[in-house]
Amino acid sequence: MPTPQNHSINISRFRLHISGAVQGVGFRPFVYKLAQALNLTGWVRNDIRGLYIEIEGSTQDLTVFQQRLQTEAPPIAEIKQIQQFTLTPLGERQFEIVASDTLPDQQPKPSVLPDLASCPECLQEIQDSANRRFRYPFTSCTLCGPRWSIIEALPYDRPNTTMTGFPFCPACEKEYTNPANRRFHHQVNTCPVCGPQLTLWDRSGATLAAREAALQQVVLALKQGKIIALKGIGGFQLLVDAHNEEAVTELRRRKQRPAKPFALMCSDLQQIRQFCCVNSAEQILLQSIAAPIVLLKKKTVDLLAPSIAPGNPYLGIMLPYSVLHHLLLQDFGSALICTSGNVSGDPICKDNNEALHRLHNIADLFLVHDRPVARALDDSVAQVVLDKPVLLRRARGYAPRPIDVKTKMPSPAVLAVGAHIKNTIALALPGEEHVSEIMLSAHLGDLDAPDTRDAFLNRIEKYKELYRLKPALIVHDLHPDYHSTQYAINTDTKKFAVQHHWAHVAACMAEHQLDQRVLAVTWDGVGLGDDGTAWGGEFMLADLQGYKRLGFLLPFPLPGGDQAARDSRRSLLGALHVVSHGDQELARQLLPENIFSRMELHTFTTMLERNVNIVQTSSAGRLFDAASSLLNLSQQNRFEGESAMALQFAAQTSTDNTVIELPQIKQGDYIVIDWRPLLLRMTEGRRHNEPVNKLAMLFHLTLVKAIVDYVATIPGYPVVLTGGCFQNRLLLQLTIEALQQREIKVYWPQQIPANDGGIAFGQAAIGVNQDINFQE
């Protein structure tokens, strides 16, 4: 215990306020031990805005304390700022961790950590038969385990989590209060005596087994080809034997997911390498504390059920990230399908009875537990491009960690409600001067389904409650029919509409802390433009205050409008209508044989001739669909991006480097990229039986050249590549390399998805940079 201080010998006292990710990371125990080691007195506590320390001792020891506070902090902590205030010494005799402070008029700071993958120490404990946590599925410590999925209020203390119903047993209490223990002040500390337990249910909800017996029965059922609904950290997952084709096919049928790839969970890297190639950057990502699903190149010898990812050269694979997963994979002995616990299109289930109801016709058995899940979390999805991790879905392991965004002026609290597809929301809270912290929520899903819409509304209310937030501004998309837009315009809060592609650009700019104007290439499926037309192949100059549209891909008509997003043939027919200058007979000659019935072709060509139920679009995504249909690679999008992916995968098998130059057409104030020569060249190649993969690569290389040629006409700006089309790693990598060869600085989304999952982040970044009069 520190000795009393002699105030005559350079004794000082400071109050330190630390902001950042400092709760749920073992920071208070770290501060306690550091103060003890340096013979300092005072206290440390959490509050809803971060962490407070009052520290007293010699000036020399206090200097060392402040240095080590930053250099030796827990590895998963993130210190954003330390504010220091000088106080009068009190002559205290000890240093202690005191109760957290919660003031009702304070607004919390978004410093909560994501859920963290199990650490090596906890995994070692569960394998030790002499340890009291041997094979206990809910083992965790200050370095790992659930965080965001269990928090119901701030600050991060046990009574504010879903662990509040599990009081400590004497052994856990002793660990919690022992400074030498790694579970010192671990808020989720638990064990088999006092913690959550497993139960196995049948479809009626009847209990079949509990604890270890439940786990063993699940392993047996999986080996028999059964489908298991498992309650994980962030909600339910559906599990099935990845080697059992009959079981995988049945899961597809029951889940109503005919083609979209399933993710796998493997026990370790050695098992993953049986199925896929793994480079060093991918290994680091797989083994990170976020433990996302990582898209990996399949090996030529496929040992798994073929319907896991049909026609796809990649597998999405993750390592176990909870002790429950580790035990299950260890006992099962091979890879498992591990996919979201929902019917396709609906949000994932998080509550036991909800899962029993909604997954009744999918799962054979339900492995549940009695720790509530505060908020549902899907698994994050990532890929590696040019040795950089690129998130495709930001959820468990990443959300809700905030990102600082520069602002030109003091900013209000902002709520951004995102897009209609791949919806997320974002909260921007005022930070320090000219900085705002933006917290992007986890992936929610598409707002077509009523259950997802309910979840969207619930998420907004829960986040406002958690952060005691009454936003001064709500930012939404221009499209009036988006459910998120409808929510915004029906509130009494001041509103600001943001064009879809500008939000894409802003998300990438804010992620990379760019405060200068950029030249952006924003390619995706579709977004409503400020002229009321459907944009999607955009070139623009932009910053966080505004944008100017410079050019776009040559527009073409889509018969049936939005229906073309699911039917790639319509995109092709519309594109060929432009190629043929409206000559429908020529357009028919350019079509692949027998992709339409006679009645379909008559209906769609009539729509084009009469301009009825037609949407004109500059969409790059629909142009990719058209090319895929033209090469007869994919005629339908059974899931978003299926046709474009087929085109990418075909191109990746080609080594041909044929490319053509596309004309740039002056159209008023805009420069338009005329892609018609490309489709004509592809139809000619198809007639001459050129390899399909060569023509698919021609399509990619020609568009890359078109981008580079366009950028070359507007020098002096860094380039941003964003939008859903740049999830295509071939397009992204080729474009980056081509721009870098010309010594052009290029940025692309990495921590924020390039798809519509990043729209809310971009909306928020724009919102905090607008000079808006809130008195009006």
Q: What is the DSSP string of 156-220?
A: --GGGBTTTTSPPPHHHHHHHH-TTSTTTT-TT---TTTS--EEEE-TT--EEEEHHHHHHHHHH
**Angle subtended at Cα 19 by Cα 53 and Cα 100, rounded to the nearest 5 degrees:** 50
Give me the mean pLDDT over the 554-568 stretch: 96
pLDDT digits (tens, 9 = 90+) for 500-515: 999 999 999 999 999 9
Q: What distance in Å separates the CA atoms of residue 275 and residue 328, rounded to the nearest whole number?
A: 20
Q: What distance in Å separates the CA atoms of residue 141 and residue 145, rounded to the nearest whole number?
A: 7
Q: What distance in Å separates the CA atoms of residue 524 and residue 307, rounded to the nearest whole number?
A: 28
Residue 711: pLDDT band with limits 50, 70, 90: very high
Residue 404: per-residue pLDDT: 87
pLDDT digits (tens, 9 = 90+) for 257-278: 999 999 999 999 999 999 999 9
One-character DSSP codes across 549-580:
EEEEEPPEEEETGGGGGTBHHHHHHHHHHHHT
**Angle subtended at Cα 754 by Cα 341 and Cα 342, rounded to the nearest 5 degrees:** 10
Q: How is residue 276 annotated by DSSP?
A: B
Give me the mean pLDDT over the 163-169 stretch: 96
Read off the tokens for 10: 């350079």
Q: Is the pLDDT of residue 477 over 70?
A: yes
Burial of 102 (0-12, 13-18, 19+ CB in 10 A): middle
Q: Which of 318-327, 424-433, 608-617 has the lowest mean pLDDT?
A: 424-433
Q: What distance in Å separates the CA atoms of residue 565 and residue 66, rounded to the nearest whole number?
A: 57
Residue 126: per-residue pLDDT: 98
pLDDT digits (tens, 9 = 90+) for 374-402: 999 999 999 999 999 999 999 999 999 88
Q: Is the pLDDT of residue 237 over 50?
A: yes
Residue 7: pLDDT band with limits 50, 70, 90: very low
Residue 654: per-residue pLDDT: 98
Q: Is the pLDDT of residue 108 over 50?
A: yes
Cβ(278)–Cβ(286) under 8 Å?
Answer: yes
Q: Cβ contacts of residue 768 below 8 Å, gap of 6+?
A: 405, 407, 411, 412, 414, 428, 436, 438
Q: What is the rounded end-to-end Cα distance, in angstroms, of the chain?
A: 59
Cβ(544)–Cβ(767) under 8 Å?
Answer: no
Residue with tokens 């997320």: 424
Read off the tokens for 326: 């580790």
Read off the tokens for 296: 């990996």
Q: What distance in Å separates the CA atoms of residue 294 and residue 381, rounded to the nearest whole number?
A: 6
Percent of the chain surpassing pLDDT 70: 96
Percent of the chain surpassing pLDDT 90: 84
Give me the mean pLDDT over the 620-638 stretch: 98
Read off the tokens for 673: 């990229």
Residue 15: per-residue pLDDT: 94
Residue 385: per-residue pLDDT: 98
Read off the tokens for 172: 């856990």
Residue 156: pLDDT band with limits 50, 70, 90: confident
Q: How far is CA 371 from CA 155, 289, 350, 504, 552, in A?
A: 20, 22, 11, 37, 51
Give me the mean pLDDT over the 471-482 stretch: 96
Residue 775: pLDDT band with limits 50, 70, 90: low
Q: Is the pLDDT of residue 523 over 90?
A: yes
| Residue 535: closest CA among 558, 553, 521 | 553
Whether residue 715 is preceded by a cis peptide bond, meaning omega within 30 degrees of 0, is no
Give me the mean pLDDT over the 210-215 stretch: 98
Residue 107: pLDDT band with limits 50, 70, 90: low
Cβ(111)–Cβ(21) under 8 Å?
Answer: yes
Read off the tokens for 66: 């402040």
| Residue 764: closest CA among 440, 467, 458, 534 | 440
Cβ(693)–Cβ(700) under 8 Å?
Answer: no
Max mean pLDDT range (48-62, 193-207, 425-439): 193-207
User: How many other C-beta atoms can be found within 10 angstroms of the C-beta atom of residue 138?
Assistant: 23
Residue 468: per-residue pLDDT: 83
Task: Return the CA Rg of the chain.
Answer: 28
Cβ(357)–Cβ(349) under 8 Å?
Answer: no
Residue 432: pLDDT band with limits 50, 70, 90: low
**β-bridge mates for residue 520, sequence order:** 540, 720
Cβ(656)–Cβ(699) under 8 Å?
Answer: no
Residue 774: pLDDT band with limits 50, 70, 90: low
Read off the tokens for 136: 């206990």
